[in-house]
Amino acid sequence: MNSDEDLENIHKVDAIVVIVGQDPDVVYSKTTALQTWLFGYEMTDIMIVLCHQSIHVLASKKKVDFLKMIESSKENEESVPPITLLVRDKTDKDGANFETLRTAIARSRSGKTIGEFTKDKFSGEFVDEWKKVLNSQNYETLDISSALAYIMAPKDDHEIALLTKAAALSSDIYAKYLREEITEIIDSDKKVKHSKLADGVEQAVANKKYVKGSYCSNIVRTLLVNPTDEQKSLYEFLVEVQESVLEKLRDGVRLSDVYQHAIDMVSKHDKSIVDKMTKNIGFAMGLEFREGSLLLAPKSNAIARKGMVFNVSIGFSGLQNKSASDAEGKAYALFIGDTVVVNEGSAANLLTPSKKKLKNIAIILKDDDQESEEEEDVKPEIIKEEDFGNRGSRRTALVDNKLRNESTTEEKRKIHQKELSENLNESARARLASKAGNNKEESHKKSTISYKNMNQMPKEPEVNDLKIYVDKKYETVILPIFGIPVPFHISTIKNIAQSVEGDYTYLRINFFHPGATLAKSDSAMFTNNFDSTFLKELTYRSTNVKEPGEISAPSSNLNTAFRLIKEVQKKFKTREAEEREKEGIVKQDTLVLSQNKGNPKLKDLYIRPNIITKRIHGTLEAHANGFRFTSIRGDRVDILYNNIKHAFFQPCDGEMLILLHFTLKNAIMFGKKKQAEVQFYTEVGEITTDLGKHQHMHDRDDLAAEQAERELRQKLKTAFKTFCDKVEQLTKQEVEFDTPFKDLGFPGVPNRSIVLLQPTSGCLVNLTDWPPFVITLEEVELVHFERVQFHLKNFDMIFVFKDYNRKISMVNAVPMNMLDHVKEWLNESDFSEDSAVTESETEESENSLGSSEESGKDWSELEEEAAAADKTHSDFVDDYTQRKGKGGGGGSHHRSKPPPPKMHSSMGSSKRSSMGSSKHSSMGSSKHSSMGSSKHSSMKRGRDGRDDHRDKHKKMRK
């Protein structure tokens, strides 16, 4: 279409006449599209005349009453000519009304040329009577279909919102109904007519709650069944061509240039398939499904404009599958299509978000006979003779995002687990042979030095007067000991205490020393000082009596020192805590802000964890290379795309929250803490319910509230889903949102409360409760089950990671009736798993992880040890059974308890006053001066396995 020539017809006509009769067979037409565009509704037996300076509408009384709001609207006073509404008069077959309209046309410019939609053919008495008037006046008519289509093609925000809903509906029908139906048909080897599938799709559309406002959308997918490598390669290339076309389709680009871009790309790849490509690669759509004048074709000279909506559909037909065994399978075609909207200065936005990568559309078929033959080769003793007669030829289909419905047998699972175990052991042996994983970097705590030289010592009068002086600059306390001011760094002081007894004030200072209770990070200060003596405590006494001539009592120095030491301690600990939080923080790139007003954005979201104590809401917006969350207070949290490890979207189906969750590769700082899990959510409905309120199932208020909540849920789901789809398109699938499979979930306790753990395509997650639980399945080497005894109600799961330096992750209290379900899921996900009757093996296995690389043990040897331990524990008989005489001696041996530990007193004096020399001057080192060493040895009482089980059985009986 040449847009300039067609638009010229608009200037040539003196008036435009649009008339609609009654023809139920007409589905799409320019006439009904114009009605919907102008009025928002389709109406029959109505005539619209658009003159140069006036608008006339002829319709029945009911329709005129409906249109009166347009006539009186203030919005139309300035930009719209006067509107005249005429009521139909059937007595004279609208003769007077037609004469009024003819007069209006005659007064519009020259009154000789009428614009109309030539292809629209309506019938009925009303239309026939107007044709008689038209023929009697000898008007010249011009077709303005293409010109009006080009005017209506750019959509405003309201229209794009309706088209987005229509596209989401199409995607849902395909993903949740049609694809599942086709998969089931292939899985069952049935024969179903296409017409029956089409009827099912129409019924599924009718069941949808929301209306798409008469706007159209389209989605095209090709499902490949057992594709060959050539078919896979060509399909992936077809997806690349479509993505390149979307990049080319922008505001101001000629439609024929977009088509030529696709042709050039295909020709460069393989010239032999250029002739097999579709003759056009899409068309404009909106109120009409297909706008024939706006095609992405070689002769279409129209210019794409911002807001235009196209169905970009590309395909190859007449392709040959050389490896096909039957004639029907030799010829095949590939076709994909999506609904997109044109942008200004950027690629077209995808409105149909259904995934189209090869892994999402491929269906892999496998005969049961083939599976049985494989099992026969591996373990022939499992197959019985009578089983051969019962084998069918039914095939099973496995889609990547759907687990197999048919549960595998225990024998199949064991065979698969044996293969996984062998692969696991081979990788472990290879790692042990290469000595990988032993080089763990240890962080060294920096030494705290008070003064590097004597020149830094303060020259204050308090120091010379042998008073306690607190140096805030160097975070040091200078204490007088035997007439010598000795500096102590604030990190060496454990705590201080002040008391008043009679006329004296006492200040007691306790120091960190070997043998005292220390944090793991603080114990490093003694590692390099084995030959030193350490100071344990110091006590100073001063009188409260003020002598004549003194400004203040001598004890004021102790009071001031007590206050200042507390302040410096608090400041030092706060800074240390902040530094610990910042350890491991990787500096992120700078967020590049996008000035495009069409950036994907979600408003009124809360963030977890909170930025401040009180939760505050804000806006999440996607920019060029990352997200930015801006709270109403002005706080900002930036998350870059390249730092996102996992992105999850959890809808509000059966949940009170709808959320987006990000697991980061490297933690970021906000709220004064480093965070590797960030979540944005909003609440749906009321979390609490008033139980005191009288409830009635037919209460109108309750029904209205439920309806409002359903509408809110649907609105939020659409908004979040649209945001995710736009982000995926913006990042070119660099950020891909994963949705948990709720149907595959199982309850468990990963932290403190029972939650629903839901698998995703690559993780096991619980995102509703906080803190969240996210385990990346690729990082897991083995899943270990504990307390697998069927007289118990629950069992535990242990996730052992490939990185042995990483702490194991536990999920407790999984219901025993979910054991087969969990094992089936792990088996389908190719995870090796083993079981233990008791939980005492966990510590032994965990300790073995650290030593397995040195000892050379692989997983098979560890499993054998666990099985032997299970056999031993299975013979255990508790005290209650023994007293009843129902059991003999247990199979476990008993060891006597160790004697209580002896506490060794410190080797030297620990007097409150300072008695002895002071080696600790902290003039370049962080050594404590000390009055004696404090060798404290300690022993922990332990119990053997039998004692552990006795306590557990007692708790069980209770």
Cα-based torsion angle of the residue sequence 24, 27, 33, 38 in order, rounded to the nearest 10 degrees: 40
Report, as an integer, the average pLDDT of 73-93. 76
Report, as an integer, the average pLDDT of 609-624. 89
- Residue-wise DSSP of 681-706: EEE-S-SS--TTS---TT-HHHHHHH
How much of the chain is in helix, strand and coil states, percent to nearest 5?
35, 25, 40
pLDDT at 886 over 70: no
**Quick one: pLDDT band at residue 877, thresholds 50, 70, 90?**
very low
Task: Report yes or no on 941 lying in a domain.
Answer: no
Regarding whether 801 and 732 lie in a shared domain, the answer is no
CB 458 within 8 A of CB 469: yes
Last residue of a domain, one of 137, 152, 167: 152
pLDDT at 565 over 90: yes
Regarding whether 751 and 715 lie in a shared domain, the answer is no
Three-state SS at 784 = strand
Task: Report yes or no on 9 lying in a domain.
Answer: yes
pLDDT score of 567: 93
Peptide bond into 771 cis (omega under 30): yes
pLDDT score of 546: 85
Task: Report yes or no on 163 lying in a domain.
Answer: yes
Task: Report yes or no on 382 lying in a domain.
Answer: no
Least confident stretch, 365-374, 497-506, 885-894, 912-921: 912-921
Residue bearing tokens 């139920």: 24
Least confident stretch, 116-125, 235-244, 658-667, 900-909: 900-909
**Quick one: pLDDT band at residue 918, thresholds 50, 70, 90?**
very low
Task: Report yes or no on 855 lying in a domain.
Answer: no
Report, as an integer, the average pLDDT of 512-525. 68
Regarding whether 172 and 90 lie in a shared domain, the answer is no
Three-state SS at 498 = strand
Residue 143, beta-bridge partner list: 116
CB 302 within 8 A of CB 294: yes
Residue bearing tokens 């160097």: 474
**Quick one: pLDDT band at residue 946, thresholds 50, 70, 90?**
very low
What is the residue range of 304's domain?
157-363
pLDDT at 893 over 60: no
pLDDT score of 399: 43
pLDDT at 361 over 70: yes
Task: Report yes or no on 381 lying in a domain.
Answer: no
Report, as an integer, the average pLDDT of 21-32. 74
pLDDT score of 189: 78
Report, as an integer, the average pLDDT of 468-485. 91
Regarding whether 605 and 578 lie in a shared domain, the answer is no
Chain segment 758-795, per-residue pLDDT in tens: 999 889 999 999 899 999 988 888 888 888 887 889 99
Residue 658, beta-bridge partner list: 682
pTM of the full structure: 0.47
Task: Report yes or no on 255 lying in a domain.
Answer: yes
Q: Report residue 790 as tokens.
A: 């069927």
**Taking CA 494 as the corner, what is the angle to CA 492 and CA 496, rounded to the nearest 5 degrees?**
115
Task: Report yes or no on 857 lying in a domain.
Answer: no
Chain segment 41-75, per-residue pLDDT in tens: 788 888 999 898 889 999 888 888 888 777 665 45
CATH number at residue 795: 2.30.29.30
CB 315 within 8 A of CB 279: no
Q: How many domains does the chain have?
A: 5
Last residue of a domain, one of 800, 834, 868: 834
Regarding whether 56 and 167 lie in a shared domain, the answer is no
**Quick one: pLDDT band at residue 456, thresholds 50, 70, 90?**
confident
- The Cα 912–Cα 917 span in angstroms is 14
**Quick one: pLDDT band at residue 686, thresholds 50, 70, 90?**
low
- The Cα 114–Cα 49 span in angstroms is 10
Regarding whether 95 and 11 lie in a shared domain, the answer is yes
Last residue of a domain, one of 813, 834, 855: 834
CATH number at residue 718: 2.30.29.150
Report, as an integer, the average pLDDT of 670-677. 82
Regarding whether 169 and 148 lie in a shared domain, the answer is no
Regarding whether 578 and 490 lie in a shared domain, the answer is yes
- The Cα 411–Cα 407 span in angstroms is 12
For the chain, give the percent of residues with pLDDT over 90: 23
Q: Is 542 left (phi over 0), alpha (psi -120 to 50) or beta?
A: beta
For the chain, give the percent of residues with pLDDT over 70: 74
**Quick one: pLDDT band at residue 677, thresholds 50, 70, 90?**
very high
β-bridge pairing 537-543 and 601-608: unpaired
Regarding whether 291 and 170 lie in a shared domain, the answer is yes
pLDDT score of 205: 72
Segment of 92-101, 211-220, 686-695, 913-922 carrying the highest mean pLDDT: 92-101
Nearest to 152 by CA among 344, 283, 314, 288: 288
Regarding whether 725 and 608 lie in a shared domain, the answer is yes
CB 479 within 8 A of CB 468: yes
pLDDT, the chain, mean: 77
pLDDT score of 395: 38
**Quick one: pLDDT band at residue 264, thresholds 50, 70, 90?**
very high
Report, as an integer, the average pLDDT of 716-735. 88
Regarding whether 783 and 727 lie in a shared domain, the answer is no
Chain segment 164-188, per-residue pLDDT in tens: 888 888 888 888 788 888 888 887 7
pLDDT at 378 over 60: no
- From residue 931, how far is each of 404, 440, 738 by CA, in Å? 73, 37, 62
